[in-house]
Structure 1
Amino acid sequence: MKATFDATGNVIVITGAANGIGRSLALACAQRGAQVIALDVDDREGELLQNAHAHIEYRHLDVSDRVGVNHVFEDILQRHGQIDGLVLGAAIQPRAQVQETEPQTWRKVLDVNLNGVVWCYQAALPGMIARRSGSVIAFSSGLASSGWPGASAYSATKAALTAFVKSAAKEVASHRVRFNLIAPGVIDTPQYRGANAGNDGEHWQQTLGVGVADDVVGPLLFLLSDAASMTASLLSRDFAYPSRDDA
C-alpha cells in the first residue's frame, strides 16, 4: 500500500529546520503543497533551505528566547492566518560527564530542548484551539529510557518531554488538537555526528544501525496528517530499517 500526503493549503512550522530531519521534512512538506516556515539559528543553512523551494520561508529563531518566540509566531499568524502543523525539532546535544558539566551548559540544554518546546507550543496553541484543528509533534529519544554516558542533560530533557507531551495532549484533546511524540532512532545528522564521534558512532552502527534523515519523513508526515487519529502517543523507530538500495 502506497502512502501519499497532500498538504495543499496547510501552514507547517518546523523548529530546528535548517539541518537533518527538520530540513528533510521541510522539503517534503513543501513538495506536497504546504507553506513551510523553517525556524533555526543556523542562518547559512536556513537560507540555503529557503532557496531550495518556493514554499519554504526561513526565519531566525532561538527557541529558548520566549519573547522572540512570541514575536515570530505572532508574525507567522498575522501573515499566514493559521498554523496547521508544528514540529518541534530544535535541540542541542553537548556531551559531558555530569561532574564536568558547567551550570550554563546544563541550563542551555534545558532552555533549548525543553523550555523551547513549551514556549513554541504555547505560542501556537490558541490558534489551533480556536480552529479546532492542529497537529503538534515533539521529539523524544531512546536515551530517555536507556541513558548514555555523557548524555545526561540531553536524556533528561527527552524524558521530561515525554511526560510533558502526554500530559499536555490530554488537556487539549477535546479541542481536536493532537500532540504526539516521535523517537526517530539513530539518524545520521550533523548533531549526531558531533555527539557520537569515535567509539560511540561505531557502537550505534553495530547495534541499532544508523539511518538517514529521510527515513523519518514518512512517520512525521503521518503524524501531521488527519490519518493519525491519535494523541499523547509515542511513535518509536527503534532500529534502522534498510532501504531498498541496502537490501
Structure 2
Amino acid sequence: MSTSTPSRQAVGWAAAEARVRGAGLRIVHAAPYASTRPGQQRAAAILGRAFTVARQHEPHVRTVTARSDQDAVTALAEASRGADLLVVGRLSGHTGDTVVPSLAPAIAVAAHCPVTVVRTGPGPVHAVDRPVVAGVQQAEEDAPVLEEAFADAGRHGCPLVVLHARGPVGGGDTPAALDRALDPWRQRYPDVPVQVRTGDGGAAAELLHLSVGARTVVVGTRGRGAAAAAVLGSTSRTLLQHADCPVTVVHRTGTDRATAPRDRAASGTGTV
C-alpha cells in the first residue's frame, strides 16, 4: 500500500470487517521486487504503514503482516485459501507498479473466497444507513451472491437492495419469481429489510447508479482460472473500475466454497 487515501481506506475497511466478523486480519503485500536490500526495505516500510493504519482503526483486532515474493495475483490467490474474505486495495503506489483496476478482475477470479475491491476515496464505508446492493439474474445460479449480500447486510445492520439485472438478451428469473425465491434468505435473516428492484437500463449502469451511497455492491463471476478471467463479465469489470463504493465479487460456481448459508466467522482477511 501507499500513503494514498484509497490505500489507507482499504486497510481500514479490512480491519473493521475483521472486527465485525470476529476474525483476525492478515495483511499481505506482493513484493516480487524485493530481491535487493532497497526492495526489502521498501516492502517493510509498506507493511509497517499498513499495520499502523490497521491498529489505528481497530486496535483490538489481531493483525499480522506477510510479504510474498510472488506477483500480486498469485500471492493474493494463495493468501485467500482458508479466508472468508480477501480485501484488495491499490498496490504500493510506486511508479513501477500497476494499480488495482487492471489486476482486480484476475484477482477476483483466482481467489478461493469472495473478494472486496476498495478503491473509493474518503467516506464512511460502514454506516448502517448505507445499503448493500446485490446484482442478480437467477436466484438459483446467484445463490452465493445472495448469501454473501444477506450475510453482509445482517452483520452490519444494513438494508439490502436486490437488483434484478437482466442479461443482454433478457433471461433470468422474472421479478416476481426472484422475489419469491428470496424467501429462504428472508427467513434466515429476518432483521434485514429487503427491496427488490428491476433495472430498466443495462445492469452496469443500474448498479453504478446504486453504488452511490451504498456500503458495497455484490456481484457474481463464474468460477476460477484463466478461462474465467477471460470471461469476467463486463458488468463486473465496469463496477471494479468505476463504482462509487467497494465491490464484492463472489464465485457463482466452481469454487471450493459452499453455497449454502454459512455461520462460521472469517478465518482471515487480506489486503494489499
Q: Normalising by structure 1, report the TM-score.
A: 0.34
Q: Normalising by structure 2, report the TM-score.
A: 0.32
Structure having the higher helix fraction is 1
